[in-house]
Amino acid sequence: MVNLTLPAGAKDLLPLDVAQKQWIESRLQTEFRAWGYHCIITPTLEHLGTLTVGGAVKLESVIQVDGSNAEILGLRPELTASIARAYASRIGKINSPQRLYYNDNVFRKLPSSNRQQEFYQSGVELLGGVGLLADAEILLLLAKCLESVNLPHWQMVLGDVGLTTALLNTFPSQYRQKIRQCIADLDRVGLLNLAIPDQLKSQALDLLDLRGQPQQVLDQVLALSWVHNLDAEISYLKSLVELLENNFPTPPVLDLSLLQSCGYYTGIVFEVVSGNYVIAQGGRYDQLLGLYNSQGISHPSIGFCLNLEDLHKVLMPTLPQEIDSSEWLVVAIAHEAIKHTFVYAAELRSKYAVSAEIELEFRDRSAVIAYGRSQGIKQIAWIGASGVIGTEQL
């Protein structure tokens, strides 16, 4: 007996699901191309070592597959590492920057086997883009993408791994990782229960609370008595926020506890939240390409991805609720008319660029008309043994 159930985490996309997904994707891709980005496609399977080199991707998130010659392969859990691998060997042979976009599926091993394991993402990578202009381009492009799909009520949350790491580095090394984990998890209780000196605990709690209106947060950082020599990082964030402030529906929230799960981020990181969903995330990764280059040469880069399933859920009330109907139904009224039926349908498609489907049964006129109306078809062509004998608008 064939098992007709889907594997855990798999999902069918029926025609209406696909139409809605393509509605979103087409608008995102139009925006990507308008900003000078070009599509890239990378393989679904990569060598496991390629995906996990340098901790770029966590091993436990990769679904492993046996390859030939005892190789262990992995289904990509995200696209950035694959794109970095694709371009790392070409460093020195291509001009910078490279503006790339993708629209593809990824696979992740999840702790609960009944949760979804295949996901769809759209996103961009700006390879060789450095500094304020590159960071602003990515954040503003993301904002335009969300505007293009009419996403309501979204909020940008902005962090800076470099600045947060500098703050964490003021703690003794033996406590640093535990404090970092509590801050990344927003775990105040865990932080209070850490076996560390009270003064360090108080400083860690100060760091956990660095979240809110950007200028206010940066003023809080400057006011911390235990923080020194961060003027350049703070000045940079101020300049970036100023560039963004008139291009977002609400000002971004600055959250210095924002630490993405991927270990390759080095500068700004960000998320877009709408309701209970994280719609997009990304950040700067200036050393990642060097992990895949034989000489360790890297290019500063930044990118983002949009989580299409979550975006789909938030946008559902505004998405198309019906699939497109055929414009014509071409009907043979007798066996002798079949040849002419195919010829006329082909002429409609090629000459007038309309969709035309063929009636597959020899039903009476009322049944054909009822079918056409139920499918939203606009016109019927009746075909006899010598060709078209009449057309009818529904």
| H or E stretch covering 301 | strand 301-307
Q: Write down the pLDDT at residue 91.
A: 67
Asked if residues 37 and 25 have their Cβ atoms less than 8 Å apart, the reply is no
| Neighbouring-strand partners of residue 158 | 254, 270
Q: How far is CA 336 from the centre of its chain?
A: 53
Q: Write down the pLDDT at residue 247.
A: 80
Asked if residues 388 and 381 have their Cβ atoms less than 8 Å apart, the reply is yes
CATH 3.30.70.2740 fits 328-393, yes or no: no
120-161 per-position pLDDT tens digit: 999 999 999 999 999 999 999 999 999 999 998 899 999 999
Q: Write down the pLDDT at residue 3.
A: 79
Residue 261 has pLDDT above 70, yes or no: no
- The conformation of residue 76, written as its DSSP 8-state character, comes to -
Of the listed ranges 153-167, 173-187, 324-338, the least confidently predicted one is 173-187
Residue 251 has pLDDT above 90, yes or no: no
Total Cβ atoms within 10 A of residue 344: 20
Name the phi and psi angles at 312, rounded to 5: -60, -45
Dihedral of CA 42/45/47/48: which sign? Answer: positive
The Cα-based distances of 341 to 166, 372, 375 in angstroms read 73, 16, 20
58-103 per-position pLDDT tens digit: 788 888 888 777 788 999 999 998 998 898 877 666 677 999 999 9
Report residue 238's pLDDT band, with 50, 70 and 90 as the boundaries.
Answer: very high
Instruction: Sketch the domain layout of the chain as residue ranges.
Output: 328-393
Asked if residues 248 and 147 have their Cβ atoms less than 8 Å apart, the reply is no
Mean pLDDT of 47-56: 81
C-alpha to C-alpha distance for 319 and 281, rounded to whole angstroms: 23
Token pair of 198 as six digits: 């009270």
Report residue 317's pLDDT band, with 50, 70 and 90 as the boundaries.
Answer: very high
Mean pLDDT of 192-216: 89
Asked if residues 341 and 332 have their Cβ atoms less than 8 Å apart, the reply is yes
- The conformation of residue 254, written as its DSSP 8-state character, comes to E
- The conformation of residue 288, written as its DSSP 8-state character, comes to G
Q: What is the maximum span of the chain, computed from C-alpha positions, in angstroms?
A: 95
340-377 per-position pLDDT tens digit: 999 999 999 999 999 999 999 999 999 999 999 999 99
Asked if residues 81 and 66 have their Cβ atoms less than 8 Å apart, the reply is no
Mean pLDDT of 6-27: 90
Averaged pLDDT score across all residues of the chain: 90
Q: pTM of the full predicted structure?
A: 0.89
% the chain with pLDDT above 70: 96
Q: Are strands 72-75 and 98-107 parallel, antiparallel or unpaired?
A: unpaired
Q: Write down the pLDDT at residue 94.
A: 66
Q: Write down the pLDDT at residue 330.
A: 97
Q: Write down the pLDDT at residue 329.
A: 97
Residue 169 has pLDDT above 60, yes or no: yes
DSSP secondary structure of 157-189: EEEEHHHHHHHHTTS-HHHHHHHHHHHHTT-HH
Q: Number of C-alpha atoms within 13 angstroms, CB side, residue 359?
A: 29
**Burial (CB count within 10 angstroms: exposed 0-12, middle 13-18, buried 19+), residue 372:** buried
C-alpha to C-alpha distance for 252 and 142, rounded to whole angstroms: 13
**Helices 308-315 & 15-34, crossing angle to 10 degrees?**
110
